Amino acid sequence: MSMPSDTPEIPKGNLAGFKTYSKHDILSGFLVFLIALPLCLGISLASGFPAIAGIFTAIIGGLISFFSNSELTIKGPAAGMIVIVLGCVTEFGFTGGEDLTKDFEAYRLALGVGVVAGIIQVFFGIFRLGILGEFFPSAAIHGLLASIGIIIISKQFPVLLGLHPKGSPLELLAGIPSYIVNQNPVIGLIGVLSLLIVIFFNWIKNPKYKVIPAPMIMLFIAVPMGIFLGIGSDKVYTFHNHHFQMDEKFLVNVPMDLFNAFAFPDFSGIASETGIKYIILFALIGSLESLLSAKAIDEIDPWHRKSNMDQDILAVGIGNTISSFIGGLPMISEIVRSRANIDNGARTRFANFYHGMFLLFCVALIPAVINHIPLAALGALLVFTGYRLASPKEFIHMYHLGKDQLIVFLATIIGVLATDLLKGIAIGIGASIILHIFYRVPIRSFFKLNAQVELNGDKSATILIRDSAIFSTWIALRKHLFHFFEEGRKVTLDLSETRLVDHTVMSRIEEWKKEFKEKDLELTVRGLDQHTPLSHSKIATHINRTL
């Protein structure tokens, strides 16, 4: 991506940048706000939190921009955390509206988990553990995100049709035909139309027709339709001899007074089995998603700026701690809104701040308008979001990377759907380890990198790797690369004596080649001519069958 012609210098999110780029950042912040409003509401409700919780999160996410040096990421609630948060409140006794007292207690207990997880993320940043995101096998991470997408679809498709069934993701998916037959026709009409809007809008390529984002166009149509059809009234209508309600349960409900919406955490559950489990999930999966998003946005930054991942996860931890203290959802650096931020011409982190301020003004000044948004429209938006996470392209991409990656990918998905996120990611990692053992990777390679470093004068270095180069020892290899990168040396990475170089390491090496090139250095890989790739992809797993 080339730099915009009107901004040849590198924008910085300091006081000078605030003055210089305010026009660009305010415009982008406003356009991102249009995307964020329905997403924040939908993610909150899908997570078992009050609708306003996601707004709190995005507002705090805008404020903590000043703690991060990630210039273009948008901080806020993310669809990828829905499954975790909903699982947390459910295990704490959430009833889905049947008992409001129990629901509020579960919500407060989940907030306590969020505070502790946020503090742990702060320590991740302080102790420079942002590198943790590079430990896990790439295919397992993709499988985790795809499984989250499938779960979101399973839970939100009924909402799109005006239904609220309970059950496991697999049970809900199996019930889709019955949901279509038993839907509330008026609610289903709005839900299906909303889904079609966001689907077809995505096919439009001309940017002139995409100035207003799809989620807001969806609301511009769904809200008047809902008012016209009488959603939110107490009337009952008959269709094919069946009676259907149109009451307020089909609409968003945010308080008219923002301060009355604050909720404070209950810490009595943090030492329980459920509390400990979800503290780990909030902190680990939230950090992982956030780091992956920040890294992806750095790669498409027009000015090639690089975020300090430790500082970014510190900022997210601070944001999560504050957000959970006042009743908000967990936040991450969110990929979709961050990409929109770039596309809308943002220059600095102040765009994130402005998007949060626009959300604050919106819920403070026009809550009555927000309360006319049909839940079916938000359900449609989340179904589309889930589809993007679990797109068929993801499955095809994994297949093209090699059957080994597809196996790990599918094992993670099946593991998550059959158990839960924590066990599912463990099953994915276990599948990767079993495959490595099958390919005769030495057991010692899982625990220690066998590397020999040779300095060639002051300008270059050679790193010889023996045994194998795999995901579990990548961090050790990365430290060598980073050290020589900082010293300004050219590096030769000799893999001739490795039995196997897995996909995770191959992909990371390609990323580091770009890093070296941007600094007018060179990272050269040699010794792969004796290896056999497991697919036609350049970053496929490579095996040396002669060793």
Say if residue 456 is in the same domain as residue 431.
no
Say if residue 193 is in the same domain as residue 334.
yes
* Residue 245 parent element (H or E): strand 242-245
Q: What's the rounded Cα separation, in Å, for the pair 3 and 5?
A: 6
Say if residue 127 is in the same domain as residue 93.
yes
Among 339, 475, 395, 442, smallest CA distance to 31 is for 339
Say if residue 141 is in the same domain as residue 265.
yes
Residue after which a domain boundary falls, among 438, 456, 472: 438
Q: What's the rounded Cα separation, in Å, for the pair 273 and 286?
A: 19
- The whole-number pLDDT of residue 88 equals 97
Contacts of 428 (CB under 8 A, 6+ apart): 137, 139, 140, 143, 144, 408, 409, 411, 412, 415
Contacts of 515 (CB under 8 A, 6+ apart): 485, 523
Q: What's the rounded Cα separation, in Å, for the pair 213 and 207?
A: 10
Contact 349, 65 (CB under 8 A): yes
Q: What's the rounded Cα separation, in Å, for the pair 323 and 75?
A: 12
In a domain, 5, yes or no: no
Task: Output Rg (C-alpha) for the chain, integer angstroms.
Answer: 24
- The whole-number pLDDT of residue 234 equals 83
Say if residue 339 is in the same domain as residue 308.
yes
DSSP per residue, 226-243: HHHHTTTSS-EEEETTEE
pLDDT tens digits, the chain, 547 residues: what are they? Answer: 445 656 568 999 888 888 899 999 999 999 999 999 999 999 999 999 999 999 999 999 999 988 998 999 999 999 999 999 999 999 999 999 999 999 999 999 999 999 999 999 999 999 998 887 788 999 999 999 999 999 999 999 999 999 999 899 999 999 999 999 999 999 999 999 999 999 999 888 887 788 889 999 999 999 999 999 999 988 899 998 899 999 999 999 999 988 889 999 999 999 999 999 999 999 999 999 999 899 899 989 999 898 999 999 999 999 999 999 999 999 999 998 999 999 999 999 999 999 999 999 999 999 999 999 999 999 999 999 999 999 999 999 999 999 999 999 999 999 999 999 989 999 999 999 999 999 999 999 999 999 999 998 889 999 999 999 999 999 999 999 999 999 999 999 999 999 999 999 999 999 999 999 989 999 999 999 999 999 999 999 999 998 8
Say if residue 49 is in the same domain as residue 112.
yes
Say if residue 348 is in the same domain as residue 224.
yes
Contact 47, 81 (CB under 8 A): yes
Say if residue 428 is in the same domain as residue 488.
no
Q: What's the rounded Cα separation, in Å, for the pair 379 and 192?
A: 10
Among 345, 482, 359, smallest CA distance to 71 is for 345
Say if residue 366 is in the same domain as residue 327.
yes
Which amino acid, one-letter code, is at 229?
L
In a domain, 343, yes or no: yes
Query: What CATH number should be reported for the domain holding residue 457?
Result: 3.30.750.24
Q: What's the rounded Cα separation, in Å, for the pair 527 and 525?
A: 7
- The whole-number pLDDT of residue 205 equals 83
- The whole-number pLDDT of residue 1 equals 47
Say if residue 156 is in the same domain as residue 22.
yes
Say if residue 83 is in the same domain as residue 128.
yes
In a domain, 280, yes or no: yes
In a domain, 303, yes or no: yes
Contact 461, 470 (CB under 8 A): no
Provide the domain count of the chain.
3
Range of the domain at 121: 17-247+254-386
Say if residue 298 is in the same domain as residue 433.
no
Contact 483, 477 (CB under 8 A): no
- The whole-number pLDDT of residue 177 equals 96
344's tokens:
């809308």
User: How, if at all, do strands 532-533 and 542-543 pair?
Assistant: antiparallel
Contact 339, 38 (CB under 8 A): no
In a domain, 6, yes or no: no
